[in-house]
Amino acid sequence: MEAALAGWRRMKPTNQFWALQDINFCVAKGQMLGILGHNGAGKSTLLQLIGGVGRPDTGRVKTQGRIGALLDLGAGFHVDLTGRENIFVAAISSGLTRQEVRRRMQGIIEFAELEAFIDSPLRTYSTGMQMRLGFSVAVHTAPDILLIDEHLSVGDQAFQAKCIERISQLKSRGCAIVLISQSAEQVKSLCDQALWLEQGRIVAHGDPPTIASRYATNMDAKSLPKPHPTYSREVEILSAYCLDENLQEKKEFRSGDALVIAIDYFTHRPISNCIFVVSISNTGGEIYFNTHTDTEELLIPLEFGQGEIRLWLERLDLSGGEYFINVGIFSETWDKTYDYKWHQYPLKLQWTPGEDSIITPPKRWEITNSKEHLKSTLISQASS
């Protein structure tokens, strides 16, 4: 028997894979954190760790108070129990007493809009009905922390509005909320802070409008057809964005402003040296500016993981209009393209009235009085 089962023994993995790494954040009472990221970024894993489903290999997760969680469809429910029985089981598991559950039972049922089906087995419920029931239980258990894994799209528009209103009420009572979403607009409108995850690491964390805008731009770029089939992707460009001289992100500049172009990248293996290329082109594809690290003879080794590189331009001498920032990463001998993003990062310059030139170099006008100039010339000639 041992020999027959030997082939089923688990093989020791040859490479380590970190679902999450270097994640640090804090959500205060009455705050809402929105977590953005593509499928497989580690969002659900992060929420499960916060909810106590598993423990991190390193570091720690610190929570205070009762946790209400919507981590998965039907989590904590049993398909053979009725909706009412499942409410009892889920609410008691969340820390309520039987008396508290009985007092809140009718409110939970009415909020979920399941009065006609509440005594039917859960297996007869549709996906939407199960989601509504789970959401209703979670928000009626008076949680100190509420974890929501992409459940705000449940139900029709009226029910979604009701969910958002209840979340606002919980926030006002001091509940800390963590929402996972792939909707940049949802995070922008609901949350106090935003965190963007990519491949288990934080790409950006901070102001929701700023993070949501960067994430939406990245999503749009990923939805475009791949322009080149031979990119090796040993180094991937995650995003690029524009900063002013104070390193504040901006969407619109004026001619003559300082511009900092920040590039977020992820390296899948250590690389001894590579070349970063940045260009600025108009909407028609004409390149007005181009530079790369090879011209400066810069040695840029990349370690495994995420990094950022910045290009500082002291003056942006372009006329007003719509432009794009293009970014590429190449091997040190230029024979391999690791990644390249063309026309994916917009740059807008405000128009100056009367301006009709493509470039706007530093300039100065001088007016010389012609009579004084003629007089000084005659005196000079007479002296000679």
What domains can you pick out in the chain, each with its CATH number?
23-214 (3.40.50.300), 224-349 (2.70.50.60)
Give the C-alpha separation, 159 to 161, whole Å.
Answer: 5
Looking at residue 99, what is its pLDDT?
Answer: 92
Q: Phi then psi for 357, rounded to 5 degrees?
A: -100, 160
Contact between 208 and 34 under an 8 Å Cβ cutoff? The reply is: yes
Ordered per-residue pLDDT tens for the chain, 384 residues: 333 333 444 445 556 678 888 889 999 999 999 999 887 888 888 988 898 888 888 888 898 888 888 776 556 788 899 999 999 998 888 888 999 999 999 999 999 999 999 999 998 988 778 888 988 988 888 889 999 887 665 566 777 788 888 889 999 999 999 998 878 888 988 899 999 998 888 888 999 998 888 887 777 655 544 444 578 889 999 999 999 999 998 889 988 889 999 999 999 999 999 999 999 988 777 788 888 988 778 888 999 999 899 999 988 888 778 899 999 999 998 889 999 999 889 999 887 655 545 555 565 555 555 555 555 545 545 544
Nearest Cα residue to 349 out of 260, 279, 250, 278 = 250
Q: Which residues have a Cβ under 8 Å from the Cβ of 241 and sit 6 or more positions away?
A: 214, 217, 249, 261, 262, 345
Structure confidence at residue 221 (pLDDT):
54
Q: Give residues with Cβ within 8 angstroms of 172, minimum separation 6.
A: 30
Tokens 């006609």 appear where?
Answer: 116
Residue 48 has a pLDDT of: 87
Give me the helices (H) in the chain, please: 2-5, 43-50, 83-93, 98-112, 127-139, 157-172, 184-190, 208-223, 370-383
List C-alpha distances in Å: 174 to 144, 145, 150, 289, 371: 7, 9, 21, 51, 78
- The span from the first CA to the last CA of the chain, in angstroms, equals 118
Query: Quick one: tokens of 353?
Result: 């009235």
The predicted pLDDT at position 104 comes to 93
Beta strands in 23-71 (DSSP E): 32-36, 67-70
Residue carrying the six token digits 């009725």: 82
Cβ distance 235 to 268 under 8 Å?
yes
